[in-house]
Structure 1
Amino acid sequence: MQYTAHYTSPLGPITLAADGTALTGLWFDGQKYFADTLDETHEKKSLPIFEEVRRWLDLYFSGKEPDFLPPLAPKATPFQKSVWDVLLSIPYGRTMTYGEIAARIGRKKASHAVGGAVSRNPVSLIIPCHRVVGASGSLTGYAGGIDKKIRLLELEGVDMARLFVL
């Protein structure tokens, strides 16, 4: 059984999903692939995991790097998991390219496949897919919208001088 809760962020409403003990989803309401890993049957419920995630989000949106990671359990293929593990290693305030991620997982020519896995990340923000940019510095491929990606990177203090929108 999955459970849901909501969070009001400075960038808009967010829906949270959990299996009872770990976070399985975090989506900006209405984003691409919104709730695509959420079971059709789910229940709105107050759970300790949601309080922990809200604490993480409060820290993050206050401009501070959270010093903990809530328990995560996104549904993933082995390939997606390998990509999302690399996303979790991208430091706060830094970016990485799709090609760099492909090289990290030992699949140098898999940039497009990496892009697909990044875009399907069901735990946005905490698994920081917004920190992934094109090799040229282009800000592409954020399911929550490029406007949100820009604001998240600015919040983290990323040097935006070399980044651009196509």
Structure 2
Amino acid sequence: MLKKINIRDVKLGMYIQEICGSWMDNPFWRKSFKLTDPKDLKTLTECRLHEVWIDTKKGLDIKAIPVGLSEEELQKEIDLQLQWTAQSTVTFIPHVPVHEEFEQARKVHGKAKKAVTLMFQEVRMGKAIQTDEIAPLIEDIYQSITRNPEAFLSLSRLKNKDN
């Protein structure tokens, strides 16, 4: 059974089905895995994301209400959960028709091609890749694909003589 839980409630032995949020903020290369390494648990709890989906058939479950809490402790726990929920902001990106997204996707795709070409030139010269400079571009690509994946991906499939 799949359950969406707060990252603060994740424990070793749980099966992480999916980490909620931007793929850029996901600290792991894989989508689903059983959480067995304490280092992975620490990485997960310290990332900028707030929720995960767990599969209780493949790993440990979470208890809905902590057992043995007094009325006052239970109210504090509820207040903490409400504060945590209020702090987590999820940006909704609406789906748009392909003809509306295509122009924006074309601009982002052009910037991405230039950035990749520049990165390869820098690497050939022995310089390190400046990831902080490309992070906004990656976010633009993510948003374009989220609005309508067909627009950006169709541009990515196009080839020309020089590429």
TM-score bucket of the superposed structures, by smaller chain: under 0.3
Bigger Rg, which one: 2
Q: TM-score, structure 1 length as denominator?
A: 0.22
> Going by fraction, where is strand more abundant, 1 or 2?
1
> Going by fraction, where is helix more abundant, 1 or 2?
2
